[in-house]
Structure 1
C-alpha cells in the first residue's frame, strides 16, 4: 500500500511536470497506475507466448469498404435536336441510351409525352413532315419517325457509309433532306417509302453538312437544286 501511494505521488508529479493544469488525487493516480500495470502485464504475457500482434479489421468491422447505391446521379440529358409544330416542340436527347424524343407543350411548359427511339445514343437533327416528327441519329445515320398520335417511333432508313445525320430540312413536297458526317453529303429521303438518294458531297473535302456547322475547314452557304450534284455557292 505504501508503494502504491508512492507511485501515485510520482504519477502526480510527472503530470504536473508536463501539464501544470492537470492535478490527480491519490485515488485517481492509483486507478491510472493499476491500468498501466494491467496493460503492461497483458502485453508481456502475449510476447512471452509468441503471439503475433493483432491485425486486420476490428471485431464486428468488415475489411471491405461500404458501398451505398444512392440511385440515379443524372436525371437530365442534353437536347441537340428540336423542331416545332404549332404549340408543341419536339426534343431529341443525346448521351443516353436509348435516345428519347419528347413532346413539350408550350402552353403548360411541361413534357406531355415521350418515346424511346429505335437505335443510337442521340440525335442532332429533327424536322416535321406530314404531321410526323423525323429525327436524324448517330452513331449510325438513321432517320427515325415519331408519330405523336400513337406516341411510337420506328426507323425509316439508314444512310449508308455515314455516322451522323447532322441536319434535317423539309421541302414543300414533304421530302426530307439530310446533311451527314463524315462524308459531307446531302441525301433526299422520301418519308413515305424510306427511299434515299445520295445527292453527293456538298463541298469537296468538307466533313459536315448542316446548318451553322462547317467542320474543321471553312463554312460555306450552298443552295441545292433538284438534281444530283446541283449544289451552288450562295
Structure 2
C-alpha cells in the first residue's frame, strides 16, 4: 500500500488535555503497538482484538455429522458455525499505528457542523486543518529515522463473515463511526514508538471535545476550504447560508 495524500478537510485527534497539548505544542506523535491494541479491553473504542490477527476463516453454514460407533451410521446432523483466526504470536513483530478520526464534507452544503460521537475517546481534541502538511511532516520525520511506513483509510468489514487475509487497514464494522485514517510503522521491537515533528500550531488548534459543535467547516468555492471556530453571534447566520 502506498502513502496516500488525503483530500478531506480535517483530521481529529482525541485524548487527555496534557497529551493533546503535547501534540500541538511539541508535535509529539505516540504510536501504540498492535499487540497492545489487541490485548487491551476497554469500552471506549481504542482497542480491537483483531489488530494482531492476519487471517480469518469462516464456515457459517457448517454441518456436522455425528456417527454412532456401534452401528457406524450417522446418528444426527448438527448445524454449526466455524470462525477460525490466525494471529501473531506475542513475540512476533507487529508494528505500530497512529490513528486519526477524519471528517469530510457531505453533499454540497456550505456550512457543516462537526458532529462526532466519540466523546469517550478524550476530553480534548486537536483539530488538524492542513492534513497534507501533517502527512508531509510525519513522512519526512520517519524517513530521517529510516522507518518503513505506509498510510491510508481503514476499510470497515463484517469480520464475523469475512474470510481471507487481513491487513492493518481492515477493521470490523462496529468501528465504522470513527472514519479512521492511520499510519502503520515498522518497528524492530514490540513496544510503543514515539517521535516528534515539532510545533503544529500553524496547522492545528485544540478544543474541548464537548465544544466541537462550535466548529464549522466552511467552503467558499469548490477549491477553498476553511476550518475554524465560529463565534456564537454569527452561528445562526452561517446555518442559514
Q: TM-score range by the shorter chain?
A: under 0.3
Structure with greater helix share of residues: 2
Query: Which structure has the higher relative contact order (CA within 8 Å, separation 6+)?
Result: 2
Structure with greater strand share of residues: 2
Q: TM-score by structure 2 length?
A: 0.18
Q: TM-score by structure 1 length?
A: 0.18
Larger Rg: 1
